[in-house]
Amino acid sequence: MIASALDVDSPEGPAEAGGEPRRRILHVFRAPVGGLFRHVSDLVRLQAAAGHAVGILCDSTTGGERAERALADLAPNLCLGVVRIPMRRNPHPSDLAAIWHLSRHAAVLGAEVVHGHGAKGGAYARLALASGAIRAYTPHGGSYNYKPGHPLHRLYMSVERLLASRTDVFLFESAYVAGRHRLYVGETTRARVVYNGIDPAEFEPITRAADPCDLVYVGELRAAKGIPTLLDALHRLREQGRSLRLLMVGSGPDAEEIAAHAAQLGLADVVTYEPPQPIRAALARGRVMVVPSFAESLPYVVLEAAAARQPLVATDVGGIPEIFGAAAHELVPPRDAEALASAIAGVLDETEEARSVRIGRLAETVQARFSLQRMGAEVLAGYAAAASAKLRPVRESALSGTGAATSVPLPLRR
């Protein structure tokens, strides 16, 4: 635990500025790693800079020293502190204790917004007893992407339907996930699509390292990320006489299985594995980045690579077509090693001039549509709309003379 609820110095939120209420915001999520944590970290910095009081509650068993360093780095922006408690990835009886802990922590902080991220954080945020708080939910794919048609998927979507009534605002990070919600959970008037945003500094082109690998993969080492298909595609390309090398940067539960699959294909000598590291450093060490995922929401790794003008091959899943825009026809079907191999060969064989024009257009698309400042502003606008809707029944009840509403939200601190 980095800081407990009782370590917070001031019980009062920041003062009002510019006519907008300053809120006490608690972000709840499981793993302080990966794209979800990147999203939360960006929001924390933006919200703190706007004068809001911000805190975090997340898992204590994930991320190791890297997560500790990242949270310590974020600490100056977290006047409501960081609390870490054990959280299981899958549903578990211990979730009840975690929800109780969150309820108590939110009450001590006087949280006015409890913003859950991912399936686990979203469930906790909406089940917690946080009287009067705005309950916001950003799925980050999560259970929406889990094997549609599978009994567990039906169970997860049943839970989402139950939790929808306890959600004041859905902040979907892609139109794709918003569509999954409509399909499997139902329509809602409390939803917004708020795209992940990229900082202007991330649009600086990278400087290629000496003797880079031909291909680079950056992300979790999990079969669902399509890594077996990438290895199959690499095997096909080498059978065609292409002496290609692959750098895989990341960690994950399927690392041993992936290494065994590579060895089985005779690729052990041409695949290098390295632990997680800053993405621009990893991109500099590969000529083409490959994103072979079976399912995604709106992956930061694609936004970051496109912004850095990194040649890129990706699958046509989730919100990736929303990133590519008019160039979405360049995406390849998931689970298709032959199509993936063909796309990789096409990028490697492209002239430098043609490649530069193509990836420059993609970078311009990302710069125009995926702004970090816009993301922060739209999330705050979502909170404001939810607060207004939460207060409306109380006002209408008072005006109609029918008495107080059964559930009166606490006023926002100003």
Taking the C-alpha atoms of residue 179 and residue 400, their distance in angstroms, rounded to an integer, is 37
- DSSP-assigned beta bridge partners for residue 291: 314
Taking the C-alpha atoms of residue 44 and residue 70, their distance in angstroms, rounded to an integer, is 12
What pLDDT score does 142 carry?
78
| Residue 331 resides in a domain | yes
Co-location of 89 and 179 in the same domain: yes
Contacts of residue 353, defined as CB under 8 A and 6 or more positions apart, other chains included, come to none
Whether the model pTM is above 0.75: yes
Instruction: Using alpha carbons, list the distances in angstroms from residue 198 to 73, 144, 367, 390.
Output: 19, 24, 8, 31
What pLDDT score does 146 carry?
81
Which of 97, 71, 85, 108 has its CA nearest to residue 30? 85
What's the pLDDT tens digit per position in 269-325? Answer: 999 999 999 999 999 999 999 999 999 999 999 999 999 999 999 999 999 999 999
Co-location of 156 and 176 in the same domain: yes
Co-location of 193 and 204 in the same domain: no
Q: Is 34 left (phi over 0), alpha (psi -120 to 50) or beta?
A: left
Co-location of 158 and 211 in the same domain: no
| Residue 51 resides in a domain | yes
Co-location of 62 and 134 in the same domain: yes
The CATH number that applies at residue 67 is: 3.40.50.2000
Co-location of 126 and 110 in the same domain: yes
Q: Which residue has the tokens 């009002």?
A: 16
| Residue 191 resides in a domain | yes
| Residue 411 resides in a domain | no
What pLDDT score does 21 carry?
75
What's the pLDDT tens digit per position in 351-368? Answer: 999 999 999 999 999 999
Co-location of 230 and 257 in the same domain: yes
| Residue 299 resides in a domain | yes
User: How many domains is the chain built from?
Assistant: 2
> What string of H, E and C letters represents the secondary structure of the chain?
CCCCHHHCCCCCCCCCECCECCCEEEEECCCCCHHHHHHHHHHHHHHHHCCCEEEEEEECCCCHHHHHHHHHHHHHHCCCCEEEECCCCCCCCHHHHHHHHHHHHHHHHCCCEEEEEHHHHHHHHHHCCCCCCEEEEECCCHHHHCCCCCHHHHHHHHHHHHHHCCCCEEEECCHHHHHHHHHHCCCCCCEEECCCCECHHHHCCCCCCCCCEEEEEECCCCHHHCHHHHHHHHHHHHHCCCCCCEEEECCCCCHHHHHHHHHHCCCCCCEEEECCCCHHHHHCCEEEEEECCCCCCCCHHHHHHHHCCCCEEEECCCCHHHHHHHHHHHCECCCCHHHHHHHHHHHHHCCHHHHHHHHHHHHHHHHHHCEHHHHHHHHHHHHHHHHHHHHHHHHHHHHHCCCCCCCCCCCCCC
Co-location of 30 and 173 in the same domain: yes
Co-location of 347 and 245 in the same domain: yes
What pLDDT score does 299 carry?
95
| Residue 188 resides in a domain | yes
| Residue 268 resides in a domain | yes
Which of 266, 265, 270, 268 has its CA nearest to residue 243? 270
Co-location of 33 and 138 in the same domain: yes
Which residues of the chain register pLDDT less than 50?
Answer: 1-18, 402-414
Domain residues for the domain of 278 are 200-369
Co-location of 110 and 9 in the same domain: yes
Burial of 371 (0-12, 13-18, 19+ CB in 10 A): middle
What pLDDT score does 392 carry?
67
What pLDDT score does 130 carry?
87
Co-location of 223 and 262 in the same domain: yes
| Residue 260 resides in a domain | yes
